[in-house]
């Protein structure tokens, strides 16, 4: 697939998404040995897997950098019946802690993909916590959680009325996992709550 999807080898070729064009490997930029070695150390990917992801990344991002516009386009392609922008804002922010650049390089991209595909339950939930912690103060407010859950419902095209109101879900979640009743959810409360209750995990981190 392209830059925001997995790659699978079939008959020694790289499979791309329908929206992607084939890569001419003779003219594309090289991936440095330094970055490959760093990724071999930091992730669980093999060298061939890293190269396959690189080819897919360049298909959608010929410059070697992923910007938010392309990021949103990929999500909108995957979820044509949903509204992708707000959710993509949250995910892109989590991919890219250096907000000055407004782009994601391949090494950072691969480190996050490694967590989502190969990480432990705690690593995946810690990444999800970072997405909900919008202002970066190491705790999640009801407003922050509501913003992300609402954007997730919009992405999936879910009904937000009545009993499926995201804010109602958030109130219920806080009543269960905000153990010290300070109206914030700490990282420890988030992880323990998601691991202890499948319904909470399904709402907050459905992919995990």
- Residue 140: beta bridge partners? 185
Give the domain ranges of the chain: 31-118, 121-207
pLDDT digits (tens, 9 = 90+) for 147-195: 999 999 999 888 888 778 999 999 999 999 999 999 999 999 999 999 9
Topology adopted by domain 31-118: Recoverin; domain 1 (1.10.238)
31-118 and 121-207 share one CATH topology?
A: yes
Round the average pLDDT of the chain to a whole number and report it. Answer: 86
CA pair distance 125, 149, nearest whole angstrom: 15
- Span of 63-77, 93-107, 145-159 with lowest mean pLDDT: 93-107
Q: Tell me which CATH code domain 121-207 carries.
A: 1.10.238.10
Q: Which of 33-37, 100-104, 105-109, 194-198 has the lowest mean pLDDT?
A: 100-104
Q: Residue 163's pLDDT is what?
A: 79
Instruction: List the helix and strand counts (H, then E) for the chain.
Output: 10, 6
Cβ neighbours of residue 81 closer than 8 Å, sequence gap 6 or more? 157
Report the pLDDT value the prediction gives residue 160, as an integer from 0 to 100. Answer: 82
Each as own residue / partner, the long-range contacts of residues 60-65 (CB below 8 Å, 24 or more positions apart, any chain) are 60/2, 60/3, 60/4, 60/19, 60/20, 61/3, 62/28, 64/29, 64/105, 64/106, 65/103, 65/104, 65/105
How confident is the model at residue 1, as a pLDDT? Answer: 37
In angstroms, rounded to a whole number, what is the distance separating the alpha carbons of residues 96 and 102?
8
The alpha carbons of the chain give a radius of gyration, in whole angstroms, of 18
Residue 26 has pLDDT above 60, yes or no: no
Predicted confidence (pLDDT) per residue in 29-66, tens digit = 789 999 999 999 999 999 999 999 999 999 989 999 99
d(CA 33, CA 27): 18
* Confidence band for 102, pLDDT divided at 50, 70 and 90: confident
Grouping H, G, I as helix, E, B as strand and the rest as coil, residue 105 is strand
How does strand 139-141 pair with strand 65-67? unpaired
């Amino acid at each position: 697939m392209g830059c925001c999807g997995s790659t699978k080898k079939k008959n020694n070729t790289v499979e791309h998404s329908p929206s992607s064009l084939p890569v001419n490997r003779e003219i594309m930029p090289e991936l440095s040995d330094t970055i490959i070695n760093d990724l071999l150390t930091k992730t669980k990917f093999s060298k061939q897997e890293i190269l396959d992801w690189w080819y897919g990344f360049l298909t959608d991002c010929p410059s070697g950098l992923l910007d938010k516009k392309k990021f949103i386009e990929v999500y909108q392609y995957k979820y044509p019946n949903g509204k992708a922008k707000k959710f993509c804002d949250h995910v892109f922010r989590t991919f890219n802690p250096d907000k000055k650049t407004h782009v994601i390089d391949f090494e950072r991209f691969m480190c996050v993909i490694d967590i989502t595909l190969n990480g432990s339950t705690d690593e995946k939930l810690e990444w999800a916590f970072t997405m909900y912690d919008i202002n970066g103060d190491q705790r999640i407010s009801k407003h922050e959680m509501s913003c992300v859950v609402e954007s997730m419902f919009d992405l999936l095209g879910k009904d937000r009325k009545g009993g499926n109101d995201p804010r109602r879900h958030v109130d219920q979640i806080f009543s269960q996992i905000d153990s010290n009743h300070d109206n914030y959810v700490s990282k420890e409360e988030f992880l323990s709550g998601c691991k202890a209750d499948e319904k909470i995990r399904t709402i907050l981190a459905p992919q995990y």
